[in-house]
Amino acid sequence: MRKNGEIYDALISISSVKNINDEILFFVALERDITEEKEIDRAKTEFVSLASHQLRTPLAAIGWYTEMLLSQDVGEINDNQKSYLEEIENGNKRITELVQGLLDVSKIDMGVFNLDIEKINVHTIITILLKELEQDILSKNITIDSRISEEFTEFRADSRFLRIIFQNLITNAIKYTKDNTNIKLDLFQLEKGNQFGGKIFGYDTLAFSVQDFGMGIPENQQDKIFEKLFRADNAKKSVAEGTGLGLYLIKSIIDKSSGEVWFSSKEGEGTIFYITFPVSGMAITKEIQN
């Protein structure tokens, strides 16, 4: 708070100063007013949100008209025309996914995060996703080693957000793994006190992991993997398409709904992502409620 009572944003850093015996003598605090930077960031987020909303309507119209032409409801088309329309349809789908991703990210960045909780069947969500991704799986001759427990038939969660989490992780695994390999999916109830992904949990959890055997993440870039718009160097070289929003969105959702996400990766060997939620289900994190 300023002397005039005005509230402002500050970046504060506190460091200790020690003597030769490693004993703390005193602390040094540095404060920097970042109000203007915060306001610029908020303005950018609001602009992205507004632009994303405005783009959804024309993109939906393009998708609808393209689908109508491809189905030949308004007249026959030749093979060349069909090929061009399919390219338009695929491009429109990619742009629509990007716009929806930007919209989801902007909502979270602006603090607009609500969960629409209902009882859902997690096994069914993953089964449907794998069916939707079947063509991508077949094109790379990938085998899905799936061990998905059916005990979470009434898991309390926001189905849209949970689908975003699973879809992004499974899609990334397919995209970045090597051809003719396999992807491992595990979903089970982890009992209190047991270990999962190198962590021991003091409560019963829903535990999910997806493992690929692809390029892995370079060690010197692993601390940036959940940052907005970040893509590892080897990922950009191998797969041109990508927004760098998926993992940022996943972590934002999970952190805000009482879950945890982390990973283990070795370049050239692959990556495994781990996710947990309390068996009671997704819930707004207490720190956010406060």
- Minimum mean pLDDT among 91-95, 124-128, 269-273: which range? 91-95
pLDDT digits (tens, 9 = 90+) for 178-188: 889 999 999 99
Of 129, 164, 177, 133, whose CA–CA distance to 247 is shortest? 164
Q: Looking at the chain, which residues constitute the CATH 3.30.565.10 domain(s)?
A: 118-289
* Mean pLDDT across 37-64: 78
Distance CA 103, CA 45 (A): 9
Using the predicted structure, report yes or no on whether residue 153 has a pLDDT greater than 90.
no
Residues ≥6 apart with Cβ < 8 Å to 256: 108, 113, 284, 285, 288
Check: CB of residue 207 under 8 Å from CB of residue 278. no
Q: What is the CATH number of domain 118-289?
A: 3.30.565.10
- Retrieve residue 103's tokens: 């919209």
% of the chain with per-residue pLDDT over 70: 95
Distance CA 280, CA 203 (A): 10
Check: CB of residue 54 under 8 Å from CB of residue 99. no
The domain defined by 1-112 carries CATH number 1.10.287.130: yes
Question: What is the DSSP code (8-state) at residue 19?
Answer: -
Assessment of whether the complete model's pTM goes beyond 0.85: no
Q: Looking at the chain, which residues constitute the CATH 1.10.287.130 domain(s)?
A: 1-112
Using the predicted structure, report yes or no on whether residue 289 has a pLDDT greater than 70.
no
- Retrieve residue 163's tokens: 């689908």
Distance CA 99, CA 91 (A): 12
Average pLDDT, the chain: 87
End-to-end Cα, the chain, rounded Å: 21
The pLDDT-based confidence of 60 (bands split at 50, 70, 90) is: confident
Distance CA 254, CA 278 (A): 11
Identity of the residue numbered 103: L
* Mean pLDDT across 119-148: 91
pLDDT digits (tens, 9 = 90+) for 206-231: 999 999 998 899 999 999 999 887 88
- Retrieve residue 245's tokens: 């929003």
* Predicted pLDDT of residue 282: 92
